[in-house]
C-alpha cells in the first residue's frame, strides 16, 4: 500500500538547457514518470551574461506547451536565474551566495518592488508563449520577505522553499517536505551529496511529501543520473506521484 506522496521537478528549463531537460524528461518517461513539474526560466542569463528570452526560441516553447498539455505542471522559476547584486554583508550570506546558490539566488535579497518587477516580466514572457502558470519557485529556493509579499500581491497560488511548500491563497497552508536535490559542480561533490541525499530520504520516510529536484547538471555523470532514477523508482513504489496543484487543491 502506498503511503504519502512525492513530486519530481525538472529545474532550470530554458533554451540553453533545452537538450539536457529533454533527456531528463525522456529518462523519466522510461521509468513511468511522464508528468514531472517543469520549472521554467523565462529569460535565462548564463555565466557570461548572455540572455535567452523564451519568446525568441519557439521550439522550446512548443515543447513546453506539449508537455503542459500532456499533464506536466509548469512553474515560473525566477526571471533570469542569476543574482544581479552581491549578497548583504555577513558570512552566512556569503556562504549561501557563493557555495550553495553559486550566484543563482536571484530573489534572495530583493525588495517587494524589485521582486514585483521581475515577476511581472517573467509572467508576461510565459503568457506570450502560451504557457500560463499559477506557481513560482525561486532559484536555489531562496526568496526574501519582499519577494514573498510580491508573490501574494501578484496572486500566485503557491511557492516553495527548500523544506516546505506554501499556499498563497486562503489561510496560507504550509506543507513540510523532505527535498532530494543532487545538483553538484563536479564528481568530488556529487557522490558525497548522493550519500547525504540517501540519508535525507531515510530520515524523510515519514514525511507526508517528498520532493525530488533534477537539474541539467545531473547529466554530467551517467552513473549519477542512474542513481537518481533509482531513488525515484523506489519512491514510486512507496508513494503516489502528484503535482503542486493537486496538493493544494
Average pLDDT over residues 119-123: 98
Q: Decide if 83 contacts 104 (C-beta within 8 A).
A: yes
Asked whether 106 and 139 are in contact (CB, 8 A), the reply is yes
Chain segment 139-198, per-residue pLDDT in tens: 989 899 999 999 999 999 999 998 899 999 887 788 888 888 866 555 444 444 454 445
In angstroms, the CA 89 to CA 137 distance is 25
Mean pLDDT of 85-113: 70
What's the CATH fold of domain 5-247? TIM Barrel (3.20.20)
Global confidence as pTM: 0.88
Distance spanning both ends of the chain, measured CA to CA: 23
The ranges assigned to domains in the chain are 5-247
Tens of pLDDT, residues 193-213: 454 445 545 544 556 788 999
pLDDT digits (tens, 9 = 90+) for 37-96: 999 999 999 988 899 999 999 999 999 999 999 999 999 999 999 877 766 566 665 556
d(CA 158, CA 244): 8
Question: How far lies 133's CA from each of 40, 42, 71, 124, 247, in Å?
Answer: 10, 12, 13, 11, 16
Exposed, middle or buried: residue 208 (CB in 10 Å: 0-12, 13-18, 19+)? middle
C-alpha cell at position 161: 522553499
C-alpha–C-alpha distance, residues 79 and 65, integer Å: 19
Contacts with 115 (C-beta within 8 Å, 6 or more apart), sequence order: 107, 143, 144, 146, 147, 149, 150, 151
DSSP letters along 141-202, please?
A: G-B-HHHHHHHHHTT--EEE-SSEEEE-STT--EEEEEEEE---SSHHHHHHHHHHHHHHHH
Distance CA 69, CA 22 (A): 16
Calculate the average pLDDT of the chain.
Answer: 85
C-alpha cell at 40: 521554467
Residue 101 has pLDDT above 70, yes or no: no
Amino acid at each position: 500500500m502506498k503511503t504519502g506522496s512525492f513530486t519530481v521537478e525538472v529545474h532550470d528549463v530554458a533554451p540553453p538547457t533545452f537538450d539536457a531537460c529533454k533527456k531528463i524528461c525522456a529518462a523519466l518517461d522510461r521509468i513511468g514518470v511522464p508528468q514531472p513539474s517543469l520549472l521554467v526560466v523565462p529569460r535565462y542569463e548564463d555565466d557570461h551574461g548572455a540572455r535567452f528570452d523564451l519568446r525568441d526560441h519557439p521550439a522550446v516553447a512548443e515543447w513546453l506547451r506539449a508537455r503542459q498539455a500532456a499533464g506536466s505542471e509548469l512553474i515560473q522559476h525566477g526571471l533570469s536565474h542569476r543574482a544581479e547584486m552581491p549578497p548583504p554583508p555577513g558570512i552566512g550570506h556569503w556562504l549561501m551566495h557563493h557555495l550553495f546558490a553559486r550566484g543563482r539566488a536571484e530573489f534572495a535579497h530583493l525588495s517587494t518592488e524589485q521582486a514585483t518587477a521581475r515577476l511581472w516580466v517573467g509572467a508576461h514572457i510565459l503568457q506570450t508563449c502560451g504557457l500560463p502558470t499559477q506557481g513560482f519557485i525561486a532559484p536555489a529556493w531562496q526568496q526574501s520577505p519582499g519577494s514573498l509579499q510580491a508573490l501574494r500581491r501578484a496572486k500566485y497560488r503557491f511557492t516553495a522553499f527548500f523544506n516546505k511548500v506554501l499556499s498563497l491563497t486562503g489561510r496560507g497552508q504550509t506543507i513540510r517536505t523532505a527535498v532530494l536535490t543532487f545538483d553538484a559542480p563536479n564528481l568530488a561533490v556529487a557522490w558525497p551529496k548522493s550519500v547525504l541525499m540517501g540519508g535525507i530520504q531515510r530520515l524523510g520516510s515519514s514525511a507526508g511529501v517528498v520532493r525530488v529536484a533534477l537539474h541539467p547538471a545531473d547529466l554530467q555523470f551517467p552513473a549519477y543520473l542512474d542513481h537518481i532514477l533509482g531513488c525515484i523508482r523506489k519512491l514510486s513504489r512507496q508513494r503516489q506521484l502528484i503535482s503542486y496543484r493537486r496538493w493544494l487543491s
